[in-house]
């Protein structure tokens, strides 16, 4: 094992918290976690880790964060589900400062491996206009027409990782995450994504006795959702690999949003009247992950069944909501 620290940027967030928990389970003790949020707001936190509150948009903060680092996971970004990214394009784009300053600090500190969390939002809009999708393969990101704001930032930052590797030898690896869900994810407040939002709405209906649900869009739009355990495994495997180009990390189990609501209703044992809000943020009409490449490289793809992952997610959100 290399000497030096593993740095998880965005360690107070959803994926970062799970990644650190997994690294600890594997026996790593040389971990530093960095997030802009006060530590009391972190989704998961461990006293076995060095926990720092820093704004990684600042160059000096990135230099401080990466002192003595051999491995860096950049999971820090100002982001959320469609409700957030459609209404906060400038804030999303400002995350370019995080990856830019982290790449510079990684180069200057001789970091051996650098991971960048990109997104399926880099894919061109004209490939996602139908609910009956052809799954997105890596080359579909070009010619570029990504999600406005958030997707452009991700595509630019992917490109920056590539050029830091080519010009400065930074061993950067990039995964394009497709919608990730699970316990300890955001389920309220405006940044939540569809799986957690649907759980929250179904639980609210169940607890209040008002048996109705508002669904954004017509419910016919399609997505695939990746369970957090698959995301954490894939992230580490891609970092350790020789996969030099950005690669999909997502489930290929396609579902309509109506299908997702059906599933959560079954888990909750309830049936709700559906109200479709056609003026709410909708994003693309259809999106799925083509996993040919990850299969070729790793002989593996995210495989947790949506039903199994949603059971666990629903239970966790239910417990959180009833605790309050």
Q: What is the chain's length?
A: 324
Closer Cβ to ligand GDD, 257 or 306, answer by number: 257
Total of residues contacting ligand NAD (CB under 6 A): 24
- DSSP symbol at 306: H
Least Cα distance to 14 among 228, 162, 160 occurs for: 228
- DSSP symbol at 12: T
How far is CA 236 from each of CA 109, 295, 311, rounded to the nearest angstrom?
21, 15, 25
- List strand residue ranges (DSSP E) for the chain, in order: 5-9, 31-35, 50-53, 69-74, 113-119, 172-177, 180-181, 212-216, 222-224, 226-227, 247-249, 254-256, 273-277
285 binds, among ligand GDD, ligand NAD, none (CB under 5 to 8 A by kind): none
35 binds, among ligand NAD, ligand GDD, none (CB under 5 to 8 A by kind): ligand NAD
Active site residues: 150
Q: According to the binding rule CB under 6 A, does residue 119 interact with ligand NAD?
A: yes
- Take residue 99 and report the two structure tokens written for it: 């990856």
Closer Cβ to ligand GDD, 61 or 196, answer by number: 196
The backbone torsions φ and ψ at residue 36, rounded to the nearest 5 degrees and listed phi first, read: -75, -25
Paired strand residues for 5: 69
23 binds, among ligand NAD, ligand GDD, none (CB under 5 to 8 A by kind): none
DSSP state string for 62-82:
HHHHTTTEEEEEE---S--SH
Q: According to the binding rule CB under 6 A, does residue 234 interact with ligand GDD?
A: no
Q: What would the x/- binding string for ligand GDD be over residues 114 to 133, using CB under 6 A?
A: -----xxx------------
Q: What would the x/- binding string for ligand NAD be over residues 58 to 77, using CB under 6 A?
A: -----------------xxx
Rounded to a whole number of angstroms, the minimum distance from the CB of residue 273 to ligand NAD is 28
Q: What would the x/- binding string for ligand NAD be over residues 3 to 42, using CB under 6 A?
A: -------x-xxxxx------------------xxx-----
12 binds, among ligand NAD, ligand GDD, none (CB under 5 to 8 A by kind): ligand NAD
Residues 46-75 that bind ligand GDD (CB under 6 A): none
Residues 144-163 that bind ligand GDD (CB under 6 A): 150
- DSSP symbol at 229: H
Yes or no: say if 160 and 265 are a contact pair by the CB < 8 Å rule.
Answer: no
Kindly list the residues in this chain that would bind ligand NAD in the complex (CB under 6 A): 10, 12-16, 35-37, 55-57, 75-79, 98, 117, 119, 177, 179-180, 193
């Amino acid at each position: 094992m290399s000497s030096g620290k593993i740095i998880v940027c965005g360690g107070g967030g959803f994926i970062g918290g799970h990644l650190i928990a997994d690294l600890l389970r594997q026996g790593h003790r040389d971990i530093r976690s960095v997030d802009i949020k006060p530590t009391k707001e972190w989704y998961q936190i461990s006293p076995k880790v060095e926990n720092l509150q820093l704004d990684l948009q600042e160059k000096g903060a990135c230099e401080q964060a990466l002192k003595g680092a051999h491995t860096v996971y950049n999971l820090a970004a100002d982001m959320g589900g469609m409700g957030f990214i459609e209404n906060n394009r400038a804030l999303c784009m400002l995350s370019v400062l995080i990856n830019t300053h982290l790449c510079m600090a990684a180069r200057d500190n001789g970091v051996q491996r650098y991971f960048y969390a990109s997104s399926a939002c880099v894919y061109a809009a004209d490939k996602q206009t139908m609910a009956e999708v052809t799954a997105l393969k890596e080359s579909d990101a070009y010619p570029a027409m990504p999600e406005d704001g958030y997707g452009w930032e991700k595509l630019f930052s992917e490109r920056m990782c590539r050029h830091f590797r080519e010009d400065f030898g930074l061993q950067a690896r990039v995964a394009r995450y497709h919608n990730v869900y699970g316990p300890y994810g955001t389920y309220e407040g405006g940044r939540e994504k569809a799986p957690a939002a649907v759980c929250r709405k179904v639980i609210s209906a169940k607890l209040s006795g008002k048996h109705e649900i508002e669904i954004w869009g017509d419910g016919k739009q399609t997505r695939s959702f990746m369970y957090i355990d698959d995301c954490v495994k894939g992230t580490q495997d891609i970092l350790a690999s020789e996969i030099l180009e950005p690669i999909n990390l997502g489930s290929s189990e396609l579902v309509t949003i109506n299908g997702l609501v059906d599933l959560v209703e079954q888990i909750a044992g309830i049936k709700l009247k559906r109200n479709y809000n056609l003026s709410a943020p909708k994003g693309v009409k259809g999106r799925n992950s083509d996993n040919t490449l990850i299969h070729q490289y790793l002989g593996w793809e995210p495989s947790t069944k949506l039903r199994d992952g949603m059971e666990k997610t629903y239970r966790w959100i239910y417990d959180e909501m009833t605790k309050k």
